Amino acid sequence: MYAEHEEHYIHRQGWLRAAVLGANDGIVSTASLLVGMASAHSSPQTILIAGVAGLVAGALSMAAGEFVSVSSQADIERADLAREERAHRKYPEQELAELAEIYRARGLEAGMALEVAKQLTEHDALEAHARDELGLSEANAARPLQAAFASALAFACGAIFPLLAAVFAPLEYTALAIVLVALLALLVTGSLAASAGGAQRLRAIARVTSWGALAMGLTAIAGKVVGA
């Protein structure tokens, strides 16, 4: 009998985090902006202009922010790898002992830990230290362009739903339609994100919808106050 194949999700964390953050931000920020404008009794044309501007500005801002942030992470990773490579060239025996100690601390017998460290060092010393000392691997490596593109695209995809609600809803129900569509979109994105990451759906849905509702409610109050 063979064990059931296990599906892991850690390799998705780079793009999934950026995509979920972008989509949720697109839905919540755009919906909140539109609800605030509608609560201030703005004209349909003004609401539409604000929504389109918010979509474009938000997508570009998410892309720029993710690129800068993940690029900084990538710089740190490269610096650590360069430092580790220099240490291995200058102090190979100390680096081997350090790697062996890592394996011993994880439960291997001392002789076995040293043998594993030797074999992995012979195969690829830098890869072994990157993975087991620094915690770096291909699955969690920083990818700035991927994160920037995923965030921008996800933001735009999320923002389009409240924007369409504002366009097609009757004027007297604009704010209500935006809120309902936004909450429905958050429910869907929360469910999809949980499925893609192997997490609990109800918890993810409750988290995104509750915070989204709070954001839209507070912005609606602000819109009423300013509009008055």
pLDDT at 162: 94
- Delimit the domains of the chain by residue range: 11-74+146-227, 82-132
Q: What is the DSSP string of 89-118?
A: HH-HHHHHHHHHHHHHHTT--HHHHHHHHH
CB-facing half-sphere around the CA of 161: CA atoms within 13 A: 24
Query: What distance in Å separates the CA atoms of residue 7 and residue 210, rounded to the nearest whole number?
Result: 30
User: Tens place of pLDDT for every residue, the chain, 228 residues?
Assistant: 444 545 544 445 555 666 777 888 899 999 999 999 998 888 889 999 999 999 999 999 988 988 888 888 778 877 777 777 776 777 777 777 777 777 777 777 777 877 777 777 777 676 766 676 666 665 566 678 888 888 889 899 999 999 999 999 888 889 999 999 999 999 988 887 777 666 678 888 888 889 989 999 999 898 888 876
pLDDT at 194: 74
pLDDT at 59: 92
Query: What distance in Å separates the CA atoms of residue 97 and residue 120, rounded to the nearest whole number?
Result: 12
In terms of Cα–Cα distance, which of 79, 68, 73 is closest to 130? 79
Query: What distance in Å separates the CA atoms of residue 192 and residue 188, rounded to the nearest whole number?
Result: 6
**Is 206 in contact with 87 (CB distance < 8 Å)?**
no
Q: How far is CA 129 from the centre of its chain?
A: 27
In terms of Cα–Cα distance, which of 116, 179, 208, 154 is closest to 17? 154
pLDDT at 2: 45
Find the Cα–Cα–Cα–Cα dihedral 226, 221, 179, 38, rounded to 10°: -20
